Structure 1
């Protein structure tokens, strides 16, 4: 697939919009991916066909002295959210373990309750416990 005739112009215009902080199509990040989205070109147009424009973009970003405030805030928020997710995953693991314990205790109490009801009602249990009978010879 051959590149569009106006591809370089679109890349230059997208560079200007991103660096001015007025992106129209992308999130405005100072990355080649955002530049490609903003210029409406495939990423390989910047990494293979127009290396000079890619290098120019990176030089201009470097000259600005860092990332914009919006991007820094978003990156910080991503870190916070990853910590929250890790904490929630730990909590879910603990709750799953607790559920197993509660199920076992519920089963035990249900059986004990049934035994007590049988004793109170005078009904004999379906199962007769095996107890050693006294041996008169001993």
Structure 2
């Protein structure tokens, strides 16, 4: 307890509130890592909180180092990024599969046309085939 502009009890409240907020376990606020939530979580006025220079310095250092996201927000953002990656991969796969489907459709249509021509040709010729003469020997 090194801050002389606030009482030891107030500094303890602020540090406990800071620990709860940074740990993602708020009791009196929405859990966002803001100075207003720090005061709300500690049950002190913002003016009192701003007089606790040592606590605010520690708060600012932590926020500068780790960012202002709560653990839950960081997990959410990581999940969103993962889902975006999965979506991009799925879109790429769908595009490739559509390309393959178009190619397969073209080949099938060509084979169908060839098959129809062969059937027509077969029907026009009839069933009797002339065999070549056997060599005598």
Q: Given the two structures, how large is their TM-score scaled by the length of structure 2?
A: 0.44
Which one has the largest radius of gyration?
2
Q: Which has the higher relative contact order, 1 or 2, with Cα contacts under 8 A spaced 6 or more apart?
A: 2
Q: Given the two structures, how large is their TM-score scaled by the length of structure 1?
A: 0.43
